[in-house]
Structure 1
Amino acid sequence: MRVLVTGAAGFIGFHVSRHLLARGDKVLGIDSLNDYYAVTLKHARLAELGKDGANSNGGFTFKQVDFSDHVALDAQLDGEHFDRIVHLGAQAGVRYSIENPRAYLQANLAGHLNMIEIGRNRRVEHLVYASSSSVYGGNDTLPFRVEDRVDQPLSLYAATKKADELISETYAHLYRLPQTGLRFFTVYGPWGRPDMAMWLFTKAILEGQPIDVFGEGRMRRDFTYIDDIVAGVVACLDNPPADDGVVKAGGSISPHRIYNIGNSRSEDLNDMISVIEQACGRTATRRLLPMQPGDVRDTFADIGAIQRDLGFEPRTTIADGVPRFVHWYQGYHSA
């Protein structure tokens, strides 16, 4: 296949692109390379995608473009052919959405609309897009199920992701554009994001600095290793929802389904920190702080729908995945 991947220089987009290339697909990657976090990391990921080992068929093409600018996007994609789209680019981060709300309006709303317009006009076979577990807001019924109500978001980031799901449902209904929305839980692993807890804790522990533990440490997260996430994304990409009038995961009768994609294990935050400490060979000084605005105390994915439909089975525990991240982190910063 020829696959358009947005956010190709981002954490999940990089890994999905590398997997597609390794199995022989052609990938057209786009990314704005904004400075939300260090652009050097994004360039390093792109350099990896250009290496022979990850790009054995020479099938990776990259274009720097902001997909929220529809004029620039149309110009960059003019003359390009692709069969399917994996739309992973977005403005991420719950806390940053409180500080810089307009970035979310532009990237997550205008950008999402632009990408599904591209899908509609190009008559692509399938568009897989990133939603988020943040849409569940303050839901205190665990595990989170795709059938749960998601109309009380606690952050603007969450609100934009819920809006994306609604826009996609509209396009699936009006134009029969096959789409799959994936509610990601806490994703971690090599080449991860510097604003995520796993990176921040590892960095501080190795440097002998205290770590900020929000929610007084009384938080639980569904930590999902990147290889498991990639397996789920690609399984979705390869199996578009049928336009047969049957109710899909998420409740749609259009060719649009929504899945939770997580590890289906809710881990205590302090347990995760202990695994990092062990991998680093050092003990952390924990600075306990209150919950931050927009954050939720617990996340836990019910993955029954994607298991049933696509055979998705996450295999990586934090005992296995966290040391892999720490090892990569140490190697990346020693290079």
Structure 2
Amino acid sequence: MNTQVFERALRNSQPDAGQVIERKTDKATFDLKAYLSEKRVEVEAALDQSITVVYPEKIYEAMRYSLLAGGKRLRPILCLASCELSGGTIAMAMPTACALEMIHTMSLMHDDLPAMDNDDYRRGRLTNHKVYGEDIAILAGDGLLAYAFGFIVEKTKDVQPTHLLQVVSKLSYAVAATGLVGGQVLDLESEGKQNIDVETLKFIHAHKTGALLEASVLSGAILAGANQDLLQRLTHYARNIGLAFQIVDDVLDVTATTEELGKTAGKDEKAQKVTYPSLWGIEESKRQAQNLVDEAKAELSPLGEKAIPLCAIADFITARTN
């Protein structure tokens, strides 16, 4: 693993010292910064062991290049947190957490291609196709997507087979035309059009961004055997933070620098995309994102202290700077 790259990504993906999110409880103060750091280290270690370089070396090197490029690791951490909330363990959820990051990384690799959003940088380093070429970047993304599902099935232990099948189905649905792919298609078709309304924008991002975030939250709970009431609460939580995440992304594309984002800033305006700030303005977009986060936390409030990590992560979504 490239230690310098990981450490830089770890620093960049945390809130500034003044923004560290703490949630008071009767017994202690929950330190989200420490929680995210601890879980991220565990996820990074598991990802580093998940794919080894064998023949033909180039494709495996390309897969590892993007998979180990750092980042917030928000999706795997959500999976781990929801599994623990539901009475499960880190060990039973880690293979799915790694698979989620493989799928997410694939989506970024393909999104960066010239035929899509055409970006030269991702997570502070050259995008995969700039290093390995478009052909290998496409194949490396395909390789990560296919590998993810086999990894879940082969590596998951101490989970009921029916629960494992539900997770595989959930992830498949989230990444297919019913989810990420469908959202990306409509996003591409909407570029340059000025008649896109809020409902269409919500549909795009509920599928392109929200579907995988929702799967991340629900998969951990499903692995642990969560009941329907809890799954319903987590579904509402996940859909709210998924939309809030995208609204904040749109705001940061306008307000943050390329260095802060680790990818090219101002891409949405250049591509003539309709975004939440373009419809609502910056301040109203921030307010809408905060309302969604508040609703997400309200869904989990009856669960008490065991829901604190997920509630704190919801707060992090609106406080993040990249």
- TM-score w.r.t. the length of structure 2 is 0.35
Structure having the larger proportion of residues in helix: 2
Higher relative CO (Cα under 8 Å, sequence separation at least 6) belongs to: 2
User: Which is richer in strand?
Assistant: 1
